[in-house]
Amino acid sequence: MNTTTVPEIRKALKRPTHPTQPPAPILRQTFVLKNVFGLHARPSALLVRTLQPFACQATVEHDAYAVNARSILGVLSLAAGYDSRLTFTFQGDDASEALMAVKHLFDTPFGEAYQ
């Protein structure tokens, strides 16, 4: 018969079974959309494709509405037009690389979407 008491079980459950890892970095940056057609289907698809290789979480906000930046329907639902301010948040080990990839899209007004 097992003589383990309830308090001992609770104490054992609270004990971490693996060493805790430092939290993943969170990066935020706001960009101004300079694509004259706004964030329509082609640039939205390019944004989603650009984020595919990265494992980090990515969200984008516009007018207090936040969506998953990896979702084409979410990005399109923002209805972001020319001169819109979009704030991206990245969290994960490769957050800085994902941020740089998105920064490149905004630096080149999504020109790759039209090639």
Positions marked active-site: 40
From CA 77, how far away is CA 82, in angstroms rounded? 15
User: Can you tell me the distance from the alpha carbon of 111 to that of 43, in angstroms, rounded to the nearest whole number?
Assistant: 8
The total number of residues shown for the chain amounts to 115
- How far apart (Å, rounded) are the C-alpha atoms in residues 35 and 18? 47
Distance CA 12, CA 4 (A): 11
